C-alpha cells in the first residue's frame, strides 16, 4: 500500500473575525495516488476551505496538510486547482488561456502550441480557439478552465464544485467529458460537490462531511465499473448506493 498522495491530519480551520467561525475540526483524510475522491457535503461545511488548504492558499490552524509527504506551503502547478467562481481570463482567447500554465513554466511557443492544440481537440472546442470567453457559454468556459490546468500535466487535480453553476443538461455533459478525460490521463482528483449523484457518477470513493464544523461523517467506496455512461445512472447498484449516500448526508 503506497503512501497517500494527499494527506490531511487532524486538520482544523477557524476563520478569524469578530465571531470566529470554525470551518473544520479534527479532520483526517487521505487521497491515494490515482484515486478520484469526491468530497460531499452541504453548503458551508468547509469543503472549499479544505480544498484551498490542499491547493496551498490557506494554512490549517490545527494539524497538517501534506502532499507527497511534504507539508504544503503554497500553490503551484503540480496541484491543478479549478475554482468554483469563474476564473477564465476574459482578456485572453481560449488558446491563450490554455497556454498560460506553460507560459508560466517557460515553455517555448512551439511546445505551448502543440499542447494547446491537443487540449482544444480534447475538449472539442476547435472552432473556438481564437475566441474570447465572452462568446463562450458557461459550460464551455468551465471546460476551458479544466483543460487549462491539465496543460501543465500536474499529478493532482483539485476541483471545487466546477459544475455547480450550470444547468443539469450541461452538467451531465461535462461530467461525461471529465470522466473521459480522467480515464485518458489518470490523475489524482479531489472533487468537491454538494450533489450526491454527481459524486457517485464520477468518483471511486466518496467522503461525506458534516455541517460546520466539518468532520467526516461517512465514507463509501464506489465500485461501479468504468466507463460509466447514461445507463449507469439507472443501474441497480448505482441507485442502491445513491440511496445509502443520500441517507448518510441527511442523517
Partner 1 sequence: MVALRMRRAAVALGALVVLYGIAAELGRGRLPDRIWMGSHYVDNIQLLPTWRSLAEEGAFLLESDILASSVAVSTRRVLAGLLLGSLVGILLGLATGWAWRLEALADPWVTFFRFTPALALLPLFVTWFGYGELSKVLLIASSVAVVTLLGAHHGVRTVPRAYIDAATSLGAGRSLLFRRVVLPFALPHIFASVRVATGLAWVTIVVAELIDAKMPSLGYLLALSGAYPRVPTMLIALATVGALVLAFDLVLLLIHARSTRWMRRTA
> Could you say whether residue 76 binds partner 1 (CB under 8 A)?
yes
d(CA 122, CA 11) in angstroms, rounded, equals 37
Q: Which residue among 2, 91, 110, 236 contacts partner 1 (CB under 8 A)?
A: 91
> Could you say whether residue 46 binds partner 1 (CB under 8 A)?
no
> Could you say whether residue 89 binds partner 1 (CB under 8 A)?
yes
Scan residues 217-246 and list those touching partner 1 (CB under 8 A). none
Backbone angles phi, psi at 172, to 5 degrees: -60, -45
Shortest Cβ 196–partner 1 spacing (Å): 26
**Of the candidates 3, 48, 60, 59, which has an alpha carbon nearest to the alpha carbon of residue 30?**
3
Q: Which residue among 100, 128, 163, 191 contacts partner 1 (CB under 8 A)?
A: 100
Quick one: which segment of 59-67, 85-93, 113-121, 219-227 binds partner 1 (CB under 8 A)? 85-93
Cα–Cα separations (whole angstroms), residue 57 to 60, 74, 178, 229 = 10, 6, 24, 35
Shortest Cβ 166–partner 1 spacing (Å): 17
How deeply is 66 buried, as exposed, middle or buried, from its count of CB atoms within 10 A (0-12, 13-18, 19+)? middle
Contact track, partner 1, 117-156, x by CB under 8 A = ---------------xxx----------x--xx--x----
Quick one: which segment of 36-44, 59-67, 87-95, 222-230 binds partner 1 (CB under 8 A)? 87-95
- Residue with smaller CB distance to partner 1, 21 or 152: 152
Are the CB atoms for 45 and 208 separated by under 8 Å? no
- Would you state the torsion angle of the CA atoms of residues 24, 28, 32, 38, taken in this order, to the nearest 10 degrees? -40
Shortest Cβ 157–partner 1 spacing (Å): 11
Shortest Cβ 87–partner 1 spacing (Å): 4
- Residue with smaller CB distance to partner 1, 133 or 214: 133
How deeply is 135 buried, as exposed, middle or buried, from its count of CB atoms within 10 A (0-12, 13-18, 19+)? exposed
Whole-angstrom distance between the N-terminal and C-terminal Cα of the chain?
A: 32
> Could you say whether residue 90 binds partner 1 (CB under 8 A)?
yes
Tell me the Cα Rg of the chain. 18
> Could you say whether residue 73 binds partner 1 (CB under 8 A)?
no
Are the CB atoms for 104 and 96 separated by under 8 Å? no
What is the CB neighbour count within 10 angstroms for residue 87? 14
User: Using CB under 8 A as the criterion, which residues of the chain lie in contact with partner 1 when the complex forms?
Assistant: 55, 57, 75-77, 79-83, 85-87, 89-92, 100-101, 103-105, 132-134, 145, 148-149, 152
Amino acid at each position: 500500500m503506497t503512501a497517500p498522495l494527499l494527506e490531511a491530519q487532524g486538520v482544523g480551520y477557524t476563520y478569524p473575525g469578530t465571531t470566529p467561525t470554525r470551518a473544520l475540526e479534527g479532520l483526517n483524510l487521505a487521497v491515494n495516488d490515482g484515486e478520484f475522491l469526491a468530497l460531499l457535503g452541504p453548503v458551508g461545511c468547509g469543503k472549499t476551505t479544505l480544498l484551498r488548504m490542499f491547493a496551498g492558499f490557506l494554512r490549517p490552524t490545527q494539524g497538517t496538510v501534506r502532499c507527497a509527504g511534504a507539508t504544503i506551503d503554497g500553490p503551484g502547478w503540480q496541484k491543478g486547482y479549478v475554482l468554483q467562481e469563474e476564473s477564465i481570463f476574459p482578456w485572453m482567447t481560449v488558446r491563450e488561456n490554455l497556454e498560460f500554465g506553460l507560459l508560466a513554466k517557460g515553455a517555448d511557443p512551439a511546445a505551448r502550441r502543440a499542447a494547446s492544440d491537443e487540449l482544444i481537440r480534447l475538449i472539442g472546442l476547435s472552432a473556438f480557439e481564437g475566441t474570447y470567453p465572452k462568446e463562450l457559454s458557461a459550460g464551455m468556459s468551465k471546460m476551458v478552465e479544466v483543460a487549462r490546468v491539465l496543460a501543465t500535466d500536474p499529478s493532482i487535480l483539485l476541483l471545487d464544485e466546477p459544475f455547480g453553476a450550470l444547468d443539469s443538461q450541461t452538467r451531465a455533459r461535462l461530467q461525461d467529458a471529465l470522466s473521459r478525460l480522467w480515464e485518458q490521463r489518470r490523475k489524482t482528483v479531489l472533487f468537491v460537490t454538494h450533489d450526491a449523484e454527481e459524486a457517485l457518477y464520477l468518483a471511486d470513493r466518496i467522503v461525506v462531511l458534516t455541517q460546520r464544523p466539518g468532520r467526516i461523517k461517512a465514507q463509501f467506496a464506489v465500485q461501479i465499473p468504468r466507463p460509466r455512461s447514461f445507463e449507469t445512472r439507472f443501474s441497480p447498484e448505482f441507485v442502491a448506493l445513491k440511496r445509502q449516500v443520500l441517507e448518510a448526508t441527511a442523517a
